[in-house]
Structure 1
Amino acid sequence: MNRRKLDELGDYDVRDRKRRRTDATEIEDRLESLINRVGEKSTSSLESNLEGLASVLEADIINYKGKILKILSECAVKMPEKTTIYTTLVGLLNAKNYNFGGEFMDLMTRKLKEALKGCMWKTARYIVRFFADMVNCHVISTNSLLKLYHSFLETTREDNSPQVRSDTYVYAVLSSLPWVGRELYEKKEQELELLLKHIEIYIRKRSRKHVNGLRVWKSDRPHPQEEYLDCLWAQICKLKADMWQEKHIARPYVAFDSILCEALQHHIPPITPPPHHPDNTYHFPWVVFRLFDYTDCPEGPVLPGAHSIERYLIEEHLHNIIKEYHLERKICASALLEFPLKQKIPLEYMIVEVIMAELFHLPTMRYIEICYGSLLIELCKLQPSTMPQVLAQAVELLYDRIDTMNVCCLERFVSWFAYHLSNFQFKWSWDDWIGASQLDHEHPRGKFIAEVLKKCMRLSYRQRIAEVVPEQFDCFIPPKPTCNFKFDPDTGSDLPGCDTAQAIITVIKNKGGPEEVLKALQALNNPVKDVDDDSPFNSMQIEVFTQTLLFLGSKTFSHSFAGIAKFIKVFETLIGGHEDAQLVVLRAIYELWSTHHQMIVMLIDKLLRTNTIQCATVANWIFSSEMKEEFTK
């Protein structure tokens, strides 16, 4: 055979291998798409789609078993809202291929062990939930699930481990019971009672010293503020009283009971929680936020009670949607409004309550603050007939309860509300709040309105805000921002340093550099020289220079920043790193812009970024006795 024919045969072989690889990739992509999209809107019923998909996957298990296992295990964790769909699919595959079900169990067990070891608690919780629901599909035996539960609850008996560790494991068990509680009740009632008794003993003895620091309101009226584990325990007790029957979880495996009940079951391998390590991180506790009850909702679907398991399931699903799409407000808003079973609940009320829960989450918000404001605006756009009214009702309820609101939450409320108003031309039923103008000037409602108007002014301008609100709100509108230049020749010509200030103005206007400015400042004597001959800095020079430079740049932020950048060497020379000298700079800024807090904040931030002043100095100045009048503003 000649070389040309050999080359041609080699080309055919390469093309054939590429074609096989391409075909395999296309099939894997198709399988992934089919598995990921099962349960989405379709002309066929969910049951028929699951049956068809199970047949397709069974035929491809021989060649693509690894890929199918990987996809199913990822879906179990990343799509918790479709847990029952995927457990049904696994149950159908297990009924047809017992070995495949065993390999899937081994894979999920490994993932659970890795999640526990890596402190990936949400992943671990979703896997435990998946295991629980696989009991309903006859993939896992009830005994092995109960053993897993008890191994998790053993953490409550550990010595020298933090409470938050045992809380995390107990929460994983409790949060999975809505899926499997009925099955355990029917087949293992005594064992279930023993399990619940163990949890009850732990719930009663655990410390709650942290709760006060996580409460949005100091008062429990009108809604008790419960810590998350206490609330979930109360919801599980209510579910137990209802004979473990809930109305929210879709259970497609019921349609295949005749097939699934004949399948052989697997056992979860023994899993022991890894020992506590000082470097381990656990879920931070939180207090469940409650804003609405059924009396706040108009005629229509009834809002589930605070201790109904449906309330927990719906809220968790909504929180998951926000977590998944919080960076894409339009997608997130659409996903929230397309919530399944939305016809059975007052969806707008529950969405607003969940978003407010995220906004007021303590000690810190989970996502950036702008996320919540932009998401609520998008919801108002997509649902203009109902969402603005529900949001307005929420604001009124928050305003009514503002007297006992946590200060951090009050600040977030102010910031969000001002931002929201700025997107709706600052229109609000201000007349309903006129009564606040008659209250003591230190009352939280008056403080709230004053802070909102101050924030609104930053997002607009003072005259615009003054025209929007009633005349009675004049006491809340911030004074007109003015630059109070201490060394103005028309008002302060008798002050020491006035002549030097004018000389500096001349130098800077003539485009002089730092050297010329320092030379002009040499004419000023140190006012503390007679008291302390060893004073390392001249406070008069610092005050005159700071006020003069920022007065010349008072037209805009950019002018001020440019002046600081150009004469940064003057600041460094005059201050020399001394904290007392830095305090002189801060006092000079405050005197110059006492009626323009935003300018003060921006200038101090600029000086911090240039290392002209230090953070510790700013903190000491803010909390000094000379600033006590600002503490309650």
Structure 2
Amino acid sequence: MSGWKSLLLRIGEKSPDYGTSSDFKEHIETCFGVLRRELEHSAHDVLQFLLQCAEQLPHKIPLYGTVIGLLNLEDEDFIRKIVEDTQSNFQDALDTGNCNKIRILMRFLTAMMCSKVLHPSSLVIVFETLLSSAATTVDEEKGNPSWQSRADFYITCILSCLPWGGAELIEQVPEEIERVMVGVEAYLSIRKHVSDTGLSFFEDDDDSAKNPLIRGFLTSMGFLEDLWDRIQVLSKNGWKLDSVPRPHLSFEAQLVNGNITYGKQKHDAESIYPQRIRRLNIFPANKTEDMQPMDRFIVEEYLLDVLFFLNGCRKECTSYMAGLPVPFRYEYLMAETIFSQLLLLPQPPFRPTYYTLVIMDLCKALPGAFPGVVAGAVRALFEKIADLDMECRTRLILWFSHHLSNFQFIWPWEEWAYVLDLPKWAPQRVFVQEVLEREVRLSYWEKVEAGNKSFLKMLIIWNESIESAPGLEELLPPKGHQTSNSVLKKAGKEMSHMHFQLPSETWMMGYRLLSNLAIVRWVFSPENIEQFHISDRSWEILRNANVVSAEEAAATAKAELVAAESKLSLMDGEPVLGGLLARALDEFEILFISLYKNFLNVLMERLPDASKVVTLQGLKSIHADSMSVDLEESSAMEVDDENGRSKSQLNGARTSNAYNVGEKEQWCMSTLGYLKAFSRQYASEVNMILQWLYMASHGGSWMQRFITENVHPLIRKTIYCGLRRSIDGL
């Protein structure tokens, strides 16, 4: 037998092939080194023998899974073939009812998931497919209850995988695996419990039943229920087992780092080939119900093409958008398409100002139709503001403020007067507050250059607009940043004074008098931390301060990265960073590490224990039962008026009397939202840093903190989501 086959067969054993060592890590490294060289001329043989070993020596599957994970760093095509063959073999086993093969291959898939070869969600899909089949089987109306044995076997296979990969699944896809567990529990509740006394080890008679030992056997639960109980105990014990080797943990950093280049390539590809539109369904279906599904697609195509090709020609753009060659009305779809672009993540195709101008021009070109549609869109988005992504919320605030400033600040503010009854941290109240603050800024600056007379007129218009809901003055900025009737009289004399009312921090940062690190420290100062959920001010300053410097640094660093990659030297088989790249890392890396560390510290102090809350929905619902919610609403749909307002809105009514999320929970949700937004905004830069760190074997402790240490799952999930990476590795 050739040497590499013997190494695969004897891995993990005390044998001459591995000298005197009995260390799993050394065995895996030795086997990996030999196989890596063998792949150059015997890839097919290696693949077939490796799969054969995994199927016929299943107690070594964790070791084989780790070897495959390391080979994945060297030859992705080879590993892709292993996965494809495994999936094909698994399907064949299902089709032929080969129970042993089904069970073993599911364990093998689990081991490859632990070694970062398979995404955890892929394994969950396998679980849910078997779970669905099992549930259908025991359904007396839709299934075939006589096949319950097969259904029980599928559930057993799912549960039997968890000792080998439950810890990773719970950490990386907690919501998905929780869904599986709930499904298993539901299955156990509906399956028939049949006692087959003919197969009992003991006779079931009165005398034998008196024996405590025998009675225990006679009354014990079935095998499936027993396995379920054992899984529950294992889960409570943190999935710690002595009998299941976990060699992949010794290679965790390598296996995770191996995904970095792939992750960067994926991110770069998505930047080059972005999804053109993500549909934002703002209005009820009846607004476009006369339109065929394909007509909707075609109109979207028309609108997107016009927006793209006529982005520098406002009049032509407006004219073509308003006059598409279609025989039906499409104002609602046009609004949804434009807003979908304005709010598109990670960024819109053009600057948000472009879409502001398009909406403004369409309102003027179609005065009898489009303004009411836009107003309806604002109201609909306002109702959903608590669930809107933080970046989208910020864009909506900025757009709405600019839009109103171009239409004399006119808006029926009385509709939103009820936000004063909501807690100061309620997203709807914060939205109104942020819009009003920006309106004040715009009313100061919009007409400054036109002279005192025009400026005074603008202030009067603004004042009259807000008078429809005088209570909202409470949400205006503090004195010194707002305009009341008594400033109006002095406005003409105070023009020069107002020029310096902008926050000094913003001015200093605009002129680069404060460093980025100083800005980060200021944002995370105690007084600002307490405002994270009720004001966007500090985040706005951080965004404005960092965006220019980050873009400049990224452009320089990309060029330096290309040059540095050719200058890397090897020491003990590991890459060593060249001097050029080391210089490029310093300020850039420190800035982002400082930002993430600050986020991490403040969130870890305030988030509920991870054992109680692992999802945003769980965070939201902590106070759901303890706070009153007025559910008295009309059971029938209310007819909208021509401007998209319902009768309840026209009367200044609201759908609820309270916001049922506590202040601490809202602070956590808002801060997590900003963390995701910043991760997404600077994903390219962070990806670059991660690639540098991997190339240089440098800064691993920072990465490890988010990957292997006891970081709250909500933080980790938020960062991965923002970076648009799978949760199984940065």
Q: So what's the TM-score if we normalise by structure 2?
A: 0.32
Q: Which fold has the larger relative contact order, with Cα–Cα distance below 8 Å and residues 6 or more apart in sequence?
A: 2
